[in-house]
Amino acid sequence: MFFSYFSTYGPDQDRHPVRATSFALPLAACFATLALSSFSSSVPADDQASFDYDAFILSNEQLQNRQMQQLIKNNQDFQHGVILACGQTISSSAAAQPLNQWGHLKELQILWKQSAQQWQKIQMFPLGPNTDTTVRLNITFWPDKKNLVERKVEGLIKQGGDVDLSLGGIAVQGLAASEYLLYDPRHLQHATVQQTCPALQAISEKSLANSQALLTRWQESEFLEHWHDAGLGNDTFASITQATGYLLAGLAQSAEIVAKDKVYKPFRLNTDQARSNVYLSENWRSGLNLDNIQQNITDIEHLYLGADGHNGPHRLLLKKGFTAEAEAIQQQLSTLKEQASQLQQMQQQAFAQTEGRALAKRFYQNLKQLEQALKKPLPSFNLAQKFNSRDGD
């Protein structure tokens, strides 16, 4: 039955898959997965120039859906952990102890890390309603060049037991705020469990709500509807080919953001004389900064090669004859993965040592080259200009 929707092929091989209004439905997900498997198996493994248009669309939908559901699950675990830990402590003598002596601290840090790492897996997908700056800052407030998180979270703590997050604004909505409470060395030393728990509970609850909103927004969006029906052509995507082009362009933008915010600024690559400033890096308190970068490169590669492992922009480029361009991108990704791994192995010393800065500089240059390589074939995709609609005022 499912195949019947794919029985006719359009002139450019763009086809129209069945409309699925919500991929949160397990049945729909299974159904689509089965269909995908069927399609994937029909593609010869050695046929590098084949591209399954429908599998490309569906696999990206499903991947994003899965990642958001997993973030919700991680945030649920984190919130439950916080409630349990605070509940067990708040009426005991341990409540007056500094946080760094709290017996539950390690387990909460582990739960927090799972959420933070899962958020990284969503960050690199560059399309749809969740790319909005405010949406992303609701999940975690970063970049934070003036340490607004600390000021706002300390303000929350001063509110005492009855925390009103709205007074702290966007900086206290998500993972960066809870990271401060669970990792900031000065806070761990000077604040007690009793002082910290009300804010931590409120933030973990808000983080969960924000991640649920992420999925709802995605499922309710016109973007998803248009992405799903890209094969028919609509106001957002003229075809699946064009949708693939938008993904390619978006991945270039993702690479640019990683290069600028996660590498160039914290390593202060604007001048050779400067020293790195680790405090500008993402998740510096928890030490996830370099892990994040490594994950980001992995995810850019994953989306480029195909959310299902096969049908990504890479194959479409090969199919369209952009062999040199596709191979250049792949080569650049391979180099970046290796360098990201080296940076990650250096851990926080990468920020302190000359060798680390030099590696970061090479990594940055390669990221910029990746950005250019991803952009090179774009003129052939006829992407629409989006000046005011993308960044108006």
Partner 1 sequence: MPNMPVNMSRRQLIQSGLIGCAGLSLFSPAVLANTPASSATHGLQLASSVKTDAAGHQMLYLTNGTDYSKDAKLLPSGWRGHQVAASPDGRYLVSVARRPGTQLLVQDRQLGKHNLIDATTDRHFYGHGLFSADSQYLYCSENDYENAQGMIGVYRVDEGFKRIGEWSSQGVGPHQIAWVYAKQAAGQPPAPLLVVANGGIETHPDYPRIKLNLDTMQPNISYLDLSGQLIQQVTPPHHQLSLRHLDVAPDGQVWVGAQYQGEVHESPKLIYSHKLGEDKLTAVGADDTLWPQLKAYIASVACHDQTDTVCITAPRDNQITLWQRSSGKLIKQMSQTDCAGVCAHPTQPYYLVSGGDGTLAAYHAGTGHRLWQQTLNGVHWDNHLSWIG
What residues make contact with partner 1 under the rule CB under 8 A? 129, 133-134, 137, 144-146, 148, 165-167, 169-171, 213, 216-217, 220-222, 235, 384-389, 392-393
Rounded least distance, CB 170 to partner 1, Å: 6
Cβ proximity to partner 1, 50 vs 216, nearer residue: 216
Cβ proximity to partner 1, 17 vs 128, nearer residue: 128
Are 143 and 250 contacting, i.e. CB atoms less than 8 angstroms apart? no
| H-helix segments, the chain | 26-42, 53-89, 105-123, 133-139, 148-158, 175-183, 185-190, 193-220, 222-228, 240-257, 289-305, 313-319, 323-346, 349-352, 354-375
Rounded least distance, CB 219 to partner 1, Å: 9
Distance, in Å, from the CA atom of 1 to the CA atom of 92, rounded to the nearest integer, reads 61
Tokens for 98, please give them.
Answer: 């500094």
Cβ proximity to partner 1, 44 vs 392, nearer residue: 392
Cβ proximity to partner 1, 157 vs 170, nearer residue: 170
CA distances from 115 to 69, 74, 135, 175, 316 (A): 11, 5, 16, 8, 33
Q: Is 66 helix (H, G, I), strand (E, B) or coil?
A: helix
Rounded least distance, CB 198 to partner 1, Å: 18
Q: What is the amino acid identity at position 211?
A: S
Place of tokens 């000359």: 354
CA 100 to chain centre: 30
Are 20 and 32 contacting, i.e. CB atoms less than 8 angstroms apart? yes
Distance, in Å, from the CA atom of 275 to the CA atom of 279, rounded to the nearest integer, reads 12
Q: Is 192 helix (H, G, I), strand (E, B) or coil?
A: strand
Are 156 and 176 contacting, i.e. CB atoms less than 8 angstroms apart? no
Rounded least distance, CB 134 to partner 1, Å: 5
Instruction: Report angle CA 21, 23, 29 to the nearest 5 degrees.
Output: 130
Residues 6+ positions from 273 with CB-CB distance below 8 Å:
none
Cβ proximity to partner 1, 109 vs 216, nearer residue: 216
Rounded least distance, CB 143 to partner 1, Å: 8
Cβ proximity to partner 1, 173 vs 311, nearer residue: 173
Residues 6+ positions from 268 with CB-CB distance below 8 Å:
274, 275, 276, 277, 280
Rounded least distance, CB 72 to partner 1, Å: 16
Rounded least distance, CB 388 to partner 1, Å: 4
Rounded least distance, CB 235 to partner 1, Å: 7
Cβ proximity to partner 1, 265 vs 319, nearer residue: 265
Cβ proximity to partner 1, 59 vs 123, nearer residue: 123
Rounded least distance, CB 102 to partner 1, Å: 29
Cβ proximity to partner 1, 125 vs 304, nearer residue: 125
